[in-house]
């Protein structure tokens, strides 16, 4: 496995195969082959843009839901995770150590939409014991990228 290749595209998925080939001193065809293989093996799962929706006129609300659940005898947490993960509103889902079991990240258009989703879809699930909903007030940083004013190159020119 080429760890450097994965690190490079994890930081910038828009580089072309040719760019990556030049950076790693390899052939473009080799890069294409490796990436296809990593996609097939599920090592690379997707390529997405980071969008600061607050800078648009589109409404986006994010929330973090803590779920406490009782694990099922046969499949532990996996069965429930699969079920929760199926909802398109769920953007991330993690099994956690500590005071609760699942952390569910939700995205919706309004707070009401999210509240309804928790009340109507998550809370009634058989094994869910409690839910606690936290709304995101402001996103400062996500996936290693700082949200805020666009980058302005303020470096001065000197030789």
* Positions 10 through 39 that interact with another protein (CB under 8 A): 12, 14-15, 19, 22-25
51 near another protein (CB under 8 A): no
97 near another protein (CB under 8 A): no
* CA-based nearest residue to 89, from 78, 105, 102, 111: 105
Q: What's the Cα-to-Cα distance from 153 to each of 52, 156, 157, rounded to whole Å?
A: 20, 9, 11
Nearer to another protein, 91 or 146 (CB): 146
How is residue 74 written in tokens? 């046969």
Nearer to another protein, 8 or 103 (CB): 8
120 near another protein (CB under 8 A): no
**Which of residues 48, 141, 143, 155 is near another protein by CB under 8 A?**
155
59 contacts: CB under 8 Å, gap ≥ 6: 109, 110
Question: Which residues are at the interface with another protein (CB under 8 A)?
Answer: 8, 12, 14-15, 19, 22-25, 153, 155-159
């Amino acid at each position: 496995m080429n760890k450097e290749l994965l690190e490079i595209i994890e930081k910038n998925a828009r580089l072309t195969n040719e760019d990556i080939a030049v950076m790693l001193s390899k052939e473009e065809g080799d890069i294409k082959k490796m990436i296809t293989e990593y996609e097939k093996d599920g090592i690379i799962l997707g390529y997405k843009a980071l969008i600061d929706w607050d800078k648009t006129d589109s409404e986006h609300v994010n929330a973090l839901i803590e779920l406490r659940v009782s694990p099922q005898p046969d499949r532990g947490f996996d069965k429930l995770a699969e079920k929760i993960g199926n909802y398109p509103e769920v953007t991330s889902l993690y099994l956690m150590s500590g005071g609760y079991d699942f952390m569910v990240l939700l995205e919706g258009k309004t707070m009401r939409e999210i509240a309804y989703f928790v009340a109507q879809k998550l809370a009634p699930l058989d094994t869910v014991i409690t839910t606690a909903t936290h709304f995101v007030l402001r996103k400062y940083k996500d996936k290693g990228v700082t949200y805020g004013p666009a980058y302005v190159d303020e470096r001065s020119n000197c030789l």
